[in-house]
Amino acid sequence: MPETLLVIEDEPLLGSELRSDFAEQGWEALLADSIHAAERLLFERRVEPLVVVSDMSLPDGNGLDLLEKVRARGSSSEWIFLTAYGSVPESVRALKLGAFDFLEKPCEPERLALVVTGAARSARAQRRLSEQQRAAGSRYTPAAFLGHSTAAAGVRDLLERLAPIPLSALVICGETGTGKGLAARILHHAGARAGGPLVEVNCAALPRELLEAELFGHESGAFTGAKARHRGLIEQANGGTLFLDEIGELPLDLQAKLLKAIEDRRIRRLGAEREIEVDVRIIAASNRDLEQQVENGRFRADLFHRLSVFRLTLPPLRERSEDLDDLLPALIEEINARSGRRVTTVPESVRRRLASYDWPGNVRELRNVVERCVLLAEGSVFPERWLHLKQLSETNGAPVTEVGNGLRLPLDGSLSLDEIEKAVLSSALARNGANVSQTARVLGTTREKLRYRVQKYGLKAVD
């Protein structure tokens, strides 16, 4: 089905010509010869054009006034204005209202077609973002950070407190895979900016020469290959949230430019003459120690302090291993639904291996393990053979093995004292139903001493 383009033009010959040209290009092209006619289409018939090409001055009003009404109703259409009497105040107002471009008549057909193509691409991206926002609204709540541990409950409490607060910026810290992206989405969708866009960018994923243009945008001809105007990610996040993942990888010169944009609430596209006002909340994330980066001269101190209005630190999975009881079934259910599998049973041996693993990749690694096992399962039972976990109890020499009521431990130096202690405690807890009191009696120690070691090694246990 062809996408809709609306032409608003009071000159009959030019209007008919534009509608005909765009129809030949594959658009469902509509024509309105006045503000009143355009309002009937947009507000009464509820036509939702992807792109609007409008004259600035019409017999019954100004096209910018109509754009202001349309924006107030939440339209994501891109508007291109044509005028024979362009002025600086009008062009500035057009940019503030979010017009895609402002062209003077007469405009070459090839030039107009190129601008319309860029506007259509931008409008499609905005619509995708809007659809994702609506779908994510009910999904990303503080309850989405799963786990019954004290650490997980603390994170949920902070997310509930932070989401409605209009912080201009905050930093999320934590190891790779701890859920920094999830926390950022919760803060956006559960907060006052949920109606605006959430734009995510991984600062480590783009080369330096592309990152600036992606963040700040560019005008046509700003550099080789810049054939059309491009709205940068900061501009696309206007009214919402910009999530800068791995911000520690941002080059120092771009850090300075980002700081200026945050302070001034203005950006300038590459090759542009004027600045654009933006209202964006910044959520930055890093698995690096940014304070250490500042001390080493790899991260600007002024940007770090500007972003650190609040710092949220996410715990690694090894410090909340009891949350596997919540995470594992949720991940199995998600991957079952996506793949059509029906894995429902997790053997106790699998649970023990998962609980005794250190999870250096945290929840992301757990997700990958669960996905692999569910997809390779041959029935309803979660298969242990596809775990492929390098347990602390696995060494280059003889592995830790159970022999009757005891354990066989290698003493060739391949296991540290802590690893031996963890293996012994893990086995003892497993034999006693993970009960701390009963296990302490068996081992001839106190509940307090055992509880300390359970917390130290992230073991699963109940009082």
Q: What's the whole-number mean pLDDT along residues 279-288?
A: 94
Q: Is 50 contained in some domain?
A: yes
Enumerate residues 6+ apart whose C-beta is below 8 A from 83.
55, 56, 57, 90, 102, 103, 104, 105
Judged against a pLDDT cut of 90, whether residue 23 lies above it is answered with yes
Q: Interior CA angle at 61 toward 58 and 62, to 5°?
A: 80
Q: Is 151 contained in some domain?
A: no
Judged against a pLDDT cut of 80, whether residue 154 lies above it is answered with yes
Range picked from 79-83, 366-370, 435-439 for highest mean pLDDT: 366-370
73 and 166 in a common domain: no
Q: Is 143 contained in some domain?
A: no
CATH number for the domain spanning 196: value is: 3.40.50.300
Please give the pLDDT value at position 396.
43
Judged against a pLDDT cut of 80, whether residue 448 lies above it is answered with no
CATH number for the domain spanning 92: value is: 3.40.50.2300
Question: Out of 139-148, 183-192, 241-250, 407-416, which region has the weakest mean confidence (pLDDT)?
Answer: 407-416
Residue predicted with more confidence, 2 or 401: 2
Question: Out of 121-130, 194-203, 238-247, which region has the weakest mean confidence (pLDDT)?
Answer: 121-130
CATH number for the domain spanning 363: value is: 1.10.8.60
This prediction has a pTM of 0.61
265 and 178 in a common domain: yes
Count of structural domains within the chain: 4
Please give the pLDDT value at position 339.
92
Judged against a pLDDT cut of 60, whether residue 398 lies above it is answered with no
Contact 450, 439 (CB under 8 A): yes
428 and 339 in a common domain: no
DSSP letters of 315-336?
Answer: PPGGGGGGGHHHHHHHHHHHHH
Please give the pLDDT value at position 93.
79
Enumerate residues 6+ apart whose C-beta is below 8 A from 332.
343, 344, 346, 370, 374, 382
408 pLDDT band, cuts 50/70/90, is confident
307 and 170 in a common domain: yes
Q: What's the whole-number mean pLDDT along residues 84-111?
A: 80
- Show which of 288, 313, 338 is a domain's final residue: 313
Residue predicted with more confidence, 189 or 222: 189
State whether residue 364 is helix, strand or coil: helix
- Show which of 391, 414, 434 is a domain's final residue: 391
Judged against a pLDDT cut of 90, whether residue 52 lies above it is answered with yes
Residue predicted with more confidence, 1 or 307: 307
463 pLDDT band, cuts 50/70/90, is low
In tens, the pLDDT along 327-385 reads: 999 999 999 999 999 999 999 999 999 998 989 889 999 999 999 999 999 999 999 99
375 and 286 in a common domain: no
Neighbours of 335 (CB within 10 A): 20
Q: What's the whole-number mean pLDDT along residues 31-49?
A: 93
Q: What is the four-CA torsion angle of 316, 321, 325, 328, rounded to 10 degrees?
A: 50
283 and 171 in a common domain: yes
Enumerate residues 6+ apart whose C-beta is below 8 A from 411.
none
261 and 231 in a common domain: yes
Please give the pLDDT value at position 407.
76
CATH number for the domain spanning 463: value is: 1.10.10.60
Judged against a pLDDT cut of 90, whether residue 309 lies above it is answered with yes
349 and 226 in a common domain: no
309 and 162 in a common domain: yes
397 pLDDT band, cuts 50/70/90, is very low
DSSP letters of 220-252?
Answer: TTSSTT--S-B--HHHHTTTSEEEEETGGGS-H
Q: Is 111 contained in some domain?
A: yes
- Show which of 104, 125, 146 is a domain's final residue: 125
In tens, the pLDDT along 24-36 reads: 999 999 999 999 9
228 and 269 in a common domain: yes
350 and 326 in a common domain: yes
Percent of the chain with pLDDT over 90: 55
Give the C-alpha separation, 369 to 387, whole Å. Answer: 6
Q: Is 131 contained in some domain?
A: no
Angle between helices 417-431 and 447-457 (to 10 degrees): 110
Domain that holds residue 456: 398-463
Tokens coding 447:
């509940």
433 pLDDT band, cuts 50/70/90, is confident
Q: What's the whole-number mean pLDDT along residues 184-211?
A: 89
Tokens coding 287:
């698995």
Q: Is 185 contained in some domain?
A: yes
Q: Is 138 contained in some domain?
A: no
Contact 117, 53 (CB under 8 A): no
Please give the pLDDT value at position 394.
44
Please give the pLDDT value at position 430.
84
Q: Is 413 contained in some domain?
A: yes
93 and 186 in a common domain: no
